[in-house]
């Protein structure tokens, strides 16, 4: 059983409780041990880096140091926390001077960060460490060709980290296909959902979310799967307002990918935090419960294997 | 016997003297044992510098010379000649590289001085053990191998053949012509590509001094300048060229259609037995056995049935031919950047996104649409077309270099699209690069007359996700227009990606086969980027055209001709002098173990059964040193690299007390 230091991030305490529950449930069912960090702190989220870099790095470094103390790699389900932790790890390794400053601050807490561990997003752990093939083997409840739009959002792939595919990554699609669902191909899968723009420019943020919802719907999505609490909120909570603003009629459930994966792995909706949706997911659950299993594979999988 | 060594230290302007204390160095060198004189001078390689050495040799009776300056690569020949002029055997000279190996790579002046001392001390110790040698003179085989039958290779072959020497022109594809044969018009004059190319192809195909080996590849190269032996595999055409008249009936009758991904760039079809285009040279078809119904399913043979001369030969096998040449010119050209590597531009996913070669075929009157510029549906004429520059070039994620031709090629396309469709054309560029003769005039002409809109900015993406009115069913080009400082979305019907030029996918292997080097980008490396652009570090092997780096047709032709001139010059000399660096076996010491026998990459060692010892043929030996190291009895010596020379050089280097080392950056 592989162990990770699990950093949930602030949102998962309350707003995204269902992400927290379903992430842990999936990990359990995939024989992963997620040890939540004791006494973790907020990563500074999107805004803080622009205000005080040194302090923001220190915030993330503290969490990383806690994980390093356990000799574990860190995994986080939030795309924003992931980006902050990932780049703190990389920057500290590159910038000895910065590392020294930060470690000076961490000393107050009897901590030190040497940068010996890695930072992963939850998707990476499932797709790379466990592997899509393995997940496919563990699926007990096929998602019956449910049309799921994988929404990467902007922060998992950007900024570019290494030589990874940033323009058309496929691992989220592969994961969805492994559950028996059909991944929806749509162009805006990595576009920003508006993020915290909502606070400063509501109209512009709505327009971004609208484009995304429209593009996913145009390509036949029955549900959008997210991997970030911020994306989930922007796409789900504001659907009504977006409908009013643009005269649209969106009513598409926005679920965490772990909720769908969890269903495929045999967990009950309750174990996965279902029930708090603002846009009802009952149609989704109904399709999955529909016992008649379909053999249609996703077009991508068919393409890749032919 | 004690030797009289002269040591000459060059300032190289400030190149060396700016870092190394040359006065102190020459003072120190003057005190070394056996050194009769040590001097420093501004430019040793100048005629005054060389006269200084000559004068000392004659007046002081120097028996050995050491020059501490740039590198043997640059000036060894200069100073050897200088010694020779003064009557000293040129091999009694040694060079210490204190520019490339010291001043250019060392910041700390103390360390620089110490390292210079060590290198000079090594050279002085070594030169004492140098022996007078005479260069080896060998005949040059006048035949020449040209690899690659694009415009560059054709030009080179014709120049040499016209000069009266025989050329073997080896081309991988069924016909010569290269990429130029695929084009519609050529910039900047817009003359028809085939019209100017095919006469040259025809001349190459019929020239009595040219042996054309198409559908062929070089498999092995042995030997050295003047005397290469080459093995070429001629792939089975399944057509007997002795009998075939090129009538094309087989192609007409062949029922099997295949997408032509080479000549038609995937835009058109060909048959299983085919000539890639009507003006192909040679005119004989080749059979694609992977796709031939007979080879795959066992029945058909329509071609055989209809061939009026009985030339189809299903049993024909590959043939390996071997011949000798004195010089080799590589003109293997380029591959097009694969636009799929930039998924945000939609190539391969969005039907009406084309790469530049596809557009050449679309626009070509002999192409799959008869020259009509229409969308993939086969009927719709585009009303708006976006041409994107620098695709895969000038981008650290793909190729950092500028492909040099694609600005002009994009302007050419803008003009052709406008002329053929009247569509609104947009060119998306980062910078417009039109530096050569009549090129900027062409650009100005397009600017003034063609109503093409130029948008300066790197395109972010090409998408079919419509958002705004007017975008439905279009390809939308999202770009930051850096001249107005705004993001723009421009809907068009067709997008053309001006993909960059890349080294051939197999450039590295080909370079290895011919014993030359590749740059980090994998273009073949020339001997000197400015002063010797067509020679390579391997004597007798030349490079020309795009395989050496991106360039247009005029420059490719110029290089092809230049390489030919170099070869003709060598062949006219009839003989070439080789470095007398050869290995020899001391029969007294040889135990006859024969370990060295199969070590030699040039097969120069044979075993004399009667005498029970091994012997090296100096005509074949290339002085690589493998056998010297292999001999357990230490019986083999490499001239100019004797044990005494190497060991004394090491001793000399170690004799200099080196102080505190600079930390070496990891
Ligand atoms: C879309 C496009 C349009 C262009 N338009 C123009 C234009 O209008 N005007 C202009 O001046 N330039 C133009 N260029 C540039 C032009 O294509 C090059 O300058 C020219 O092709 C260089 O010719 P080459 O013989 O060096 O290479 P190539 O044309 O690539 O020919 C190389 C030949 O070598 C053969 N070969 C390769 N490897 C081997 C091997 N190992 N053994 C045997 N044979 C081998 C190949 O089959 C090929 O026949 C254009 C380029 C592009 C991409
Ligand atoms: S000999 Fe070499 S180092 Fe000296 S001036 Fe000439 S180029 Fe420069
Ligand atoms: S039909 Fe025969 S002669 Fe005519 S091109 Fe074909 S092989 Fe040659
Ligand atoms: S045998 Fe092959 S090449 Fe000949 S006609 Fe049939 S398919 Fe074509
Ligand atoms: S020639 Fe023009 S289009 Fe081509 S890489 Fe250079 S700048 Fe870009």
Give B289: exposed, middle or buried? Use CB within 10 Å, 0-12, 13-18, 19+: middle
Residue-wise DSSP of B505-529: TTHHHHHHHTT--B-TT-PBPPSBT
Tell me how far the alpha carbon of residue B178 lies from the centroid of ligand 1, in angstroms.
Answer: 5
What confidence category does residue A302 fall into, taking pLDDT thresholds of 50, 70 and 90? very low
Both tokens of B468, joined, read 């705004």
Expressed in percent and rounded to 5, the helix, strand and coil fractions of chain B are 30, 25, 45
For residue B80, the surrounding DSSP H or E stretch is: helix B72-85
DSSP-based three-state secondary structure for B111: helix
Do the beta carbons of residue A117 and residue A72 sit within 8 Å? yes
Mean pLDDT of chain A: 92
Domain(s) labelled CATH 1.20.1050.140 in chain A stretch across 2-121
Q: Residue B144: phi, psi to the nearest 5?
A: -130, 140
- Mean of pLDDT values over B478-500: 97
Residues of A in contact with B343 (CB under 8 A): 165, 167-168
**What are the tens digits of pLDDT across the range B69-110?**
999 989 999 999 999 999 999 999 999 999 999 999 999 999
Q: Which CATH code, of 3.30.420.40, 3.40.366.30, 3.30.450.20, 3.50.50.60, is assigned to B336-502?
A: 3.50.50.60
Strand bridging mode B475-481 / B144-147: unpaired
Cα nearest neighbour of A210 on chain B: B467
B312 DSSP assignment: B
Return the ∠ at Cα B188 (arms to B185 and B190), rounded to 5°.
Answer: 30
Q: A167 CB near a chain B CB, below 8 Å? A: yes
Name every chain B residue with its beta carbon within 8 A of the beta carbon of A217: none
Q: Between A187, A214, A218, which is nearest B463 by CB?
A: A187
Please determine, for residue B191, whether its predicted confidence score (pLDDT) is greater than 90.
Answer: yes
CATH number of A139-305: 3.40.50.11810
Q: Which residues of B lie inside 8 Å of A (Cβ-Cβ)?
A: 342-344, 463-465, 467
Class of A2-121 in CATH: mainly alpha
Place B657 in a pLDDT band, splitting at 50, 70 and 90.
confident
Rounded to 5°, angle at Cα B573 from B567 and B578: 85
Ligand nearest to the CA of B8: 2
B242-268 average pLDDT score: 96
Domain B5-135+646-663 has CATH 3.10.620: no
pLDDT for residue B593 is more than 80? yes
Nearest of B609, B610, B620, B614 to residue B587 by alpha carbon: B614
Q: Where are the domains of chain B?
A: 5-135+646-663, 144-334+536-573, 336-502, 583-638
Strand bridging mode B636-638 / B583-585: antiparallel
Mean pLDDT of chain B: 95
Q: Which of B234, B253, B246, B313 lies closest to B278 in space, CA to CA?
A: B246
Distance from CA of A263 to the nearest CA of B (A): 31
What is residue B112's DSSP assignment? Answer: H
Q: How far apart are CA A236 and CA B431, in angstroms?
A: 43
Among the partner residues B342, B343, B465, nearest to A188 by beta-carbon distance: B465
Distance CA B62, CA B39 (A): 13
Architecture (CATH level 2) of domain B583-638: 2-Layer Sandwich (3.30)
Give me the interface pTM, i.e. the ipTM: 0.72
Considering the domain B144-334+536-573 in this protein, what is its CATH number?
3.50.50.60
Rounded Cα distance between B481 and A134, Å, is 47
Query: Which atom of ligand 4 lies closest to the CA of B253?
Result: 5
Q: Nearest CA to CA, how far is B473 from chain A (Å)?
A: 13
Chain B residue with minimum CA distance to A214? B467
Paired strand residues for A148: A183, A223
pLDDT in tens, B380-439: 999 999 999 999 999 999 999 999 999 999 999 999 999 999 999 999 999 999 999 999
Q: What does the pLDDT read at residue A65?
A: 97
Residue A116 clears pLDDT 90, i.e. is over it: yes
For B283, the token pair is 């005119």
> Counting one residue from A and one from B, how many pairs have CB atoms under 8 Å apart?
16
Q: Ligand 4: which residue has its CA nearest to atom 2?
A: B292
Ligand 1 atom showing the smallest separation from residue B170 Cα: 43
Give the C-alpha separation, B339 to B462, whole Å.
12
CB B301 within 8 A of CB B314: yes
pLDDT of residue B602: 80
In terms of Cα–Cα distance, which of A193, A192, A187 is closest to A167?
A: A187
What pLDDT score was predicted for residue B567? 98
Alpha helices for chain A (secondary structure H): 17-29, 45-51, 53-69, 79-94, 96-107, 122-124, 132-138, 171-178, 197-200, 202-218, 229-236, 239-246, 257-264, 282-289, 299-305
Structural contact between residues A186 and A110, judged by C-beta atoms closer than 8 angstroms: no
* Ligand 2, atom 8: closest residue by C-alpha: B12
- Residue in the structure block whose two tokens are 């030996």: B621
Q: Is the pLDDT of residue A56 over 50?
A: yes
Mean pLDDT, rounded, for B30-35: 95
Sign of CA dihedral B230, B236, B242, B248: negative
Q: Which two three-digit tokens encode residue A65?
A: 């140091």
In this chain, the answer to whether the domains covering B336-502 and B583-638 adopt an identical fold is no
pLDDT at A287 over 90: no
Hey, are the CB atoms on B342 and A167 less than 8 Å from each other? yes
Helix (H, G, I), strand (E, B) or coil at B627: helix
Q: Is the CB of B287 under 6 A from ligand 3?
A: no
- Give the CA angle between residues A239, A244, A250 to the nearest 5°: 40
**A137 close to A266: Cβ distance less than 8 angstroms:** no
pLDDT tens digit sequence for A76-92: 999 999 999 999 999 99
CB contact under 8 A, A168 and B344: yes
Question: Residue A8's pLDDT band (boundaries 50, 70, 90)?
Answer: very high
pLDDT, mean of residues B213-236: 95
Residue located nearest, by CA, to atom 3 of ligand 3: B244
Q: Which helix (H) or strand (E) holds B427?
A: strand B424-429
The pLDDT score that the predictor gives to residue A296 is 42
* Residue reference for tokens 């549906």: B377
The count of other CB atoms within 10 Å of the CB of residue B378 is: 9
* Distance between A208 CA and the closest CA of chain B, angstroms: 11
Write the DSSP string, B126-183: HHHH-----PEEEEPP--EEEE--SHHHHHHHHHHHHTT--EEEE-SSSSS-GGGGG-
Which residue, chain included where needed, has tokens 């200069």?
B78
- The alpha-carbon gap from B403 to the nearest alpha carbon of chain A, in Å, equals 23
Handedness of CA B585, B591, B596, B598 (dihedral sign): positive
Per-residue confidence band for A124, with pLDDT thresholds at 50, 70 and 90? very high
Q: What would the pLDDT profile of A125-170 be if each residue is shown by its tens digit?
A: 999 999 999 999 999 999 999 999 999 999 999 888 887 888 899 9
Is A168 in CB contact (< 8 Å) with chain B? yes
Do residues B586 and B614 touch, judged by C-beta distance below 8 A?
Answer: no
Under the banding of pLDDT at 50, 70 and 90, the label for residue B659 is: low
d(CA B210, CA B144): 10
> CB under 6 Å to ligand 4: residues?
B 253-254, 256, 272-273, 287, 292-294, 300-303
The protein residue whose alpha carbon is closest to atom 35 in ligand 1 is B148
Distance CA B450, CA B181 (A): 27
How far is B467 from chain A, CA to nearest CA, in Å?
7
In Å, how far are A148, A178, A224, A272, B339 from A182, measured between CA atoms? 6, 9, 12, 21, 27
DSSP3 helix / strand / coil % (chain A, rounded to 5): 50, 10, 40
Distance B490 CA to ligand 3 centre (A): 51
Give the integer Cα–Cα distance in Å for B496 and B184: 15
For an interface test with A, which of B341, B342, B347, B465 has the most A Cβ atoms less than 10 Å from its Cβ? B465
A187 with B467: Cβ contact below 8 A: no
How many other CB atoms are there within 10 angstroms of residue A245's CB atom?
A: 15
Which of B467, B471, B477 is the best residue to mutate to test the A interface, defined by the most A CB atoms within 10 Å of its own CB? B467
What is the distance, to the nearest Å, from the Cα of residue B476 to the centroid of all Cα atoms in its chain?
39
Q: For atom 6 of ligand 2, which residue has the closest CA?
A: B45
Sheet with strand B319-325: strands edge to edge: B216-224, B227-234, B319-325
The string of pLDDT tens digits covering residues B453-462 is 999 999 999 9
Q: How far apart are CA B591 and CA B586, in angstroms?
A: 10
- Give the whole-angstrom CA distance, residue B313 versus residue B323: 25
B472, B489 in Cβ contact below 8 A?
Answer: no
Cross-chain Cβ contact A167/B463 below 8 Å:
no
Instruction: Dump pLDDT digits (tens) for B297-348.
Output: 999 999 999 999 999 999 999 999 999 999 999 999 999 999 999 999 999 9
Tokens representing residue B575 in the block:
């003989």
Q: What is the mean pLDDT of residues B559-565?
A: 98
Nearest Cα residue to A286 out of A269, A262, A304: A269
**A167/B465 Cβ within 8 A:** no
Q: Residue A195: how many CB atoms within 10 A of its CB?
A: 21
Residues pairing with B459 in the sheet = B479
- Alpha helices, H only, B526-642: 553-573, 626-630
Residue with tokens 């860190």: A74
Q: How big is the CA angle at B375 (ends B372 and B381), to the nearest 5 degrees?
A: 60
Strands (E), B191-318: 191-192, 210-213, 216-224, 227-234, 257-260, 268-271, 273-274, 286-287
Other residues' Cβ atoms within 10 Å of the Cβ of residue A275: 9
d(CA B170, CA B156): 12
């Amino acid at each position: 059983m592989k162990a990770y230091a699990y950093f949930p991030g602030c949102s998962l305490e309350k707003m995204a409780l269902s992400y927290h529950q379903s992430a842990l449930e999936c990990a359990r069912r995939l024989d992963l041990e997620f040890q939540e960090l004791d006494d973790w702190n907020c990563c500074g989220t999107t805004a803080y880096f622009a205000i005080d870099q040194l302090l923001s790095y220190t915030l993330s470094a503290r969490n990383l140091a806690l994980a390093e103390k356990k000799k574990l790699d860190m995994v986080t389900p939030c795309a924003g926390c992931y980006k902050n932790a990932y780049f703190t790890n990389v920057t500290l390794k590159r910038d000895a001077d910065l590392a020294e400053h930060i470690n000076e601050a961490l000393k107050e807490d009897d901590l030190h960060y040497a940068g010996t561990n890695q930072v992963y997003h939850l998707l990476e752990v499932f797709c790379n460490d466990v592997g899509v093939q393995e997940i496919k083997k563990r699926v007990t409840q096929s998602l019956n060709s449910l049309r799921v739009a994988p929404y990467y959002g902007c922060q998992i792939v950007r900024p570019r980290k290494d030589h990874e595919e940033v323009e058309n990554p496929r691992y989220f699609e592969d994961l969805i296909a492994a559950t028996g669902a059909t991944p929806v191909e749509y162009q805006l899968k990595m576009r920003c959902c508006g993020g915290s723009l909502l606070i400063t420019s509501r109209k512009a943020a709505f327009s971004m979310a609208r484009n995304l919802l429209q593009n996913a719907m145009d390509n036949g999505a029955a549900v959008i799967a997210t991997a970030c609490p911020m994306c989930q909120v922007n796409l789900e909570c504001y659907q009504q307002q977006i409908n009013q603003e643009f005269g649209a009629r969106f009513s598409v459930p926005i679920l965490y990918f772990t909720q769908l994966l969890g269903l495929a792995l045999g967990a009950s909706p309750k174990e996965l935090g279902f029930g708090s949706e603002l846009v009802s997911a009952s149609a989704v659950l109904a399709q999955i419960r529909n016992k008649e299993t379909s053999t249609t594979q996703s077009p991508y999988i068919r393409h890749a294997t032919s | 016997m004690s030797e009289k060594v002269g040591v000459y230290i060059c300032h190289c302007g400030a190149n060396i003297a700016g870092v190394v204390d040359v006065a102190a160095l020459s003072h120190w060198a003057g005190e070394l044992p056996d050194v009769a004189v040590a001097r420093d001078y501004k430019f040793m390689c100048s005629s005054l510098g060389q006269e200084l050495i000559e004068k000392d040799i004659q007046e002081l009776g120097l028996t050995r010379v050491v020059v501490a300056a740039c590198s043997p690569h640059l000036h060894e020949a200069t100073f050897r000649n200088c010694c020779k002029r003064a009557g000293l055997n040129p091999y009694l000279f040694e060079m210490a590289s204190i520019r490339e190996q010291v001043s250019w790579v060392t910041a700390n002046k103390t360390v620089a001085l110490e390292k210079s001392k060590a290198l000079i001390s090594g050279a002085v110790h070594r030169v004492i053990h140098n022996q007078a040698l005479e260069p080896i003179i060998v005949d040059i085989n006048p035949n020449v191998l040209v690899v690659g039958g694009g415009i560059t290779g054709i030009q080179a072959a014709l120049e040499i053949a016209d000069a009266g020497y025989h050329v073997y022109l080896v081309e991988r594809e069924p016909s010569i012509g290269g990429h130029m044969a695929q084009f519609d018009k050529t910039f900047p004059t817009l003359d028809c590509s085939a019209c100017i190319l095919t006469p040259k192809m025809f001349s190459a195909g019929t020239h009595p001094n040219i042996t054309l080996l198409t559908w062929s590849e070089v498999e092995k190269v042995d030997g050295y300048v003047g005397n290469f032996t080459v093995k070429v595999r001629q792939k089975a055409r399944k057509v007997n060229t002795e009998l075939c008249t090129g009538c094309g009936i087989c192609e007409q009758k062949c029922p099997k259609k295949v997408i032509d991904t080479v000549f038609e760039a995937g835009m058109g079809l060909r048959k299983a037995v085919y000539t890639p285009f009507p003006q192909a040279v040679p005119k004989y078809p080749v059979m694609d056995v992977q796709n031939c119904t007979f080879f795959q399913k066992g029945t058909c043979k329509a071609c055989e049935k209809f061939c009026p001369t009985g030339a189809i030969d299903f049993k024909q096998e590959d043939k390996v031919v071997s011949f000798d040449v004195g010089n080799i010119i590589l003109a293997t050209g380029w591959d097009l950047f694969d636009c799929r590597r930039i998924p945000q531009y939609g190539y391969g996913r969005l039907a009406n996104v084309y790469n530049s070669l596809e557009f050449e075929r679309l626009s070509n009157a002999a192409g799959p649409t008869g020259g009509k510029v229409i969308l993939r549906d086969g009927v719709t004429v585009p009303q708006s077309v976006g041409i994107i520059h620098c695709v895969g070039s000038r981008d650290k994620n793909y190729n950092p270099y500028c492909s040099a031709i694609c600005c002009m090629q994009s302007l050419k396309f803008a003009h052709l699209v406008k002329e053929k469709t009247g569509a609104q054309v947009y060119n998306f560029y980062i910078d417009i690069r039109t530096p050569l003769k009549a090129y900027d005039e062409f650009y100005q002409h397009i600017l003034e007359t063609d109503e093409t809109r130029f948008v300066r900015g790197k395109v972010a993406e090409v998408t079919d996700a419509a958002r705004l009115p007017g975008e439905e069913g279009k390809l939308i080009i999202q770009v930051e227009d850096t001249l107005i400082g705004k993001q723009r979305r421009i809907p068009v019907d067709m997008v053309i990606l001006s993909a960059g030029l890349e080294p051939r996918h197999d450039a590295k292997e080909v370079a290895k086969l011919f014993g030359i080097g590749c740059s980090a980008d994998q273009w073949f490396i020339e001997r000197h980027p400015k002063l010797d652009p067509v020679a390579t570090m391997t004597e007798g092997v030349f490079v020309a055209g795009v395989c050496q780096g991106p360039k247009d047709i005029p420059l490719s032709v110029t290089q092809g001709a230049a390489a030919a001139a170099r070869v003709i010059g060598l062949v006219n000399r009839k003989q070439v002098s080789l470095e007398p660096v050869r290995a020899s076996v001391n029969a007294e010491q040889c135990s006859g173990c024969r370990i060295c026998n199969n070590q030699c990459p040039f097969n120069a060692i044979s075993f004399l059964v009667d005498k029970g010892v091994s012997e090296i043929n100096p005509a074949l030996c290339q002085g690589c040193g493998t056998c010297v190291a292999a001999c357990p009895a230490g019986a083999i010596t490499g001239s100019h690299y004797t044990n005494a020379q190497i060991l004394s050089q090491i001793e000399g280097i170690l004799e200099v007390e080196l102080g505190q080392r600079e930390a070496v950056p990891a």
